[in-house]
Structure 1
């Protein structure tokens, strides 16, 4: 019995030595992985259709980041289910750094609504929050609605009759519009699309009365084809300073839904760092800032760890929003 302790102590020293040796082998291997990566093109999953503002923003960012990494980043659009089809594909991909993608902030909502079977707080790797979006309500130029007050008055007179197009049930455009309706004490007839581009086309064609979207409407407003009634940011949009915000009009609703980039859980730390560094530089580049300004997408950069904390904070907010808007009931009805 007296020799048990010395034997255990010796065994412990041997184990510690072996672990240190293994760590010594792993560190050079990790460095080698970082040096070699990327050896082939990277696939970037965009969960929205081609042509929308998020798609344009992500393509511009990938082009710059690809130049930094000295390897092409190929954008692959997997639209549908308010961005969740692409997000599911991203989460299931091999965590080797060759599949990355945009993570819609609505993952914090859909995971709680049962439309996404993963916990976004722990089951994704976060690389960078990039830029926000300028959301707004627009109508065709020949619409009978000249102001948002006209819309509210008509909706009160005919509850549930006025139609609006949005980019998917439970997404930012749908939830933002329903928050506005709740604040105004009115009801709309919501028409869901697979993305903002399709919603825009039907509003331009006169098939739907209102458009709730990020700035896909901007060039058409400037061309005189659409009229912008309100934007949803904390401040007025730089390019549309004559258009009031919902808050200015008396409705305490702010929606910015910043875009972000991530990867599957389990990304090697050396590869994660290389991607974070590349996208940090890409977001700061003049090329991306010019595209972001054209899309009315204010730069809202956060590095991966801070972005992850932001997602956790939004998750908490969404818990309350789901209850207040009765989103589970809305989804069941649809």
Structure 2
């Protein structure tokens, strides 16, 4: 009996030691992380909101970690190409994704087939900024308010066109949401990015569009008319401009949260460390200035808050896309 008891005790102590060893080994990467360069894949083209936000975070993280953060643009398929590369990367914290929230909250409903499951294959790390959709019209339109715009569109059914950054982009979805809520008809003209769409709006090739921020300077210069903000709240950058909800379209909210993601399975300690450091970077004057310059606003959250925000957005946008019948394939 004594031999059996002592043997059982030895086994228990051995198991405890093994478990402690595993826990200690798991904590080492988080304590030392990062020990090599980090690759930050931006799933949209250079010069856009995701690129500016991603490079801003990369510069700050590089200084904080004393490591090189390599930014790699992999645009295409409404963010799916870059996100797929991260979803299939090793979950060690050395490959990260910067993308719009639409890649993980809208794409699963826009595409019949995807090579990865955003909800299962990506881990939210840190929110970065809220990119607001600004409703802008060409000065040739005889309207100065949302109410006048809706009345004009209804009086000219099908004669107006609107540009977007591409099929399925957040700006496209905002346009479709406006058509639904305002009960108007307009032709969607997709572009390969927001910049060419904005250029054609300035040239009068399209009549209106939801702009993600770069158009603000043109509105201030009188080259465009800024009618409203398509977010739940007014933009701190143009606080005098009403929201669409305040302008007669209750509940209108088409803003997008851009953030950083990691492959599923990345150690929680590394995710938490990245979240803390990214939040610090985003509070610096340099980051605030860079992100405000593109018309976006800083939005920092804890990991759990970001996960919950994405879950709510997925449910909300999924319901809208299904109701609107929007499909990209």
TM-score > 0.5, shorter chain as reference: yes
- Taking the TM superposition and a 5 Å limit, the aligned residue runs for 1:195-234 are 195-234=193-232
1:109 to 86, 97, 106: 106
In structure 2, distance between residues paired with 1:216 and 1:11: 72
**Gap change, CA 1:11 and 1:171, over 3 Å in 2:** farther
Tell me what 1:166 maps to: 164
- Taking the TM superposition and a 5 Å limit, the aligned residue runs for 1:75-86 are 75-86=71-82
1:230 Cα offset (Å): 1.7
1:293 is the counterpart of 2:292: yes
Tell me what 2:257 maps to: 258
Tell me what 1:54 maps to: 50
1:199 Cα offset (Å): 1.8
Tell me if the contact between 1:108 and 1:314 (Cα under 8 Å) persists in the aligned partners.
yes
**What do the CA deviations read for 1:292-318 (whole angstroms, capped 9, x no partner)?**
333332222112222112212222223
In structure 1, distance between residues paired with 2:113 and 2:229: 28
Tell me if the contact between 2:109 and 2:322 (Cα under 8 Å) persists in the aligned partners.
no
1:193 is the counterpart of 2:159: no
In structure 1, distance between residues paired with 2:279 and 2:238: 28
Tell me if the contact between 1:57 and 1:295 (Cα under 8 Å) persists in the aligned partners.
no
1:312 is the counterpart of 2:308: no
2:16 to 16, 20, 23: 20
In structure 1, distance between residues paired with 2:178 and 2:166: 17
What RMSD, in angstroms, separates the aligned Cα atoms of the two structures? 2.6
Tell me if the contact between 1:166 and 1:174 (Cα under 8 Å) persists in the aligned partners.
yes
**What do the CA deviations read for 1:5-32 (whole angstroms, capped 9, x no partner)?**
x97x888766644432323333343343
Count of residues in correspondence between the two structures: 325
Tell me what 1:68 maps to: 64
Tell me if the contact between 1:78 and 1:86 (Cα under 8 Å) persists in the aligned partners.
yes
**Gap change, CA 1:157 and 1:270, over 3 Å in 2:** same
In structure 2, distance between residues paired with 1:296 and 1:289: 11
**What do the CA deviations read for 1:156-208 (whole angstroms, capped 9, x no partner)?**
23433311111222232111111111111111111122322232222223332
Unaligned ranges ≥5, structure 2: none
Tell me if the contact between 2:132 and 2:296 (Cα under 8 Å) persists in the aligned partners.
yes
Tell me if the contact between 1:65 and 1:281 (Cα under 8 Å) persists in the aligned partners.
no
1:157 is the counterpart of 2:155: yes
1:132 Cα offset (Å): 0.8
Tell me if the contact between 2:53 and 2:128 (Cα under 8 Å) persists in the aligned partners.
no
Give me the TM-score of the superposition, normalised by structure 2.
0.88
In structure 2, distance between residues paired with 1:278 and 1:20: 33
Unaligned ranges ≥5, structure 1: none
Tell me if the contact between 1:82 and 1:167 (Cα under 8 Å) persists in the aligned partners.
no
2:123 to 122, 125, 137: 125
Which of 114-123 and 81-90 deviates more? 114-123
In structure 2, distance between residues paired with 1:15 and 1:215: 64
In structure 1, distance between residues paired with 2:27 and 2:314: 35
Tell me what 2:132 maps to: 134
1:150 Cα offset (Å): 4.3
Which of 246-255 and 27-36 deviates more? 27-36
1:235 Cα offset (Å): 3.0
**Gap change, CA 1:12 and 1:181, over 3 Å in 2:** farther
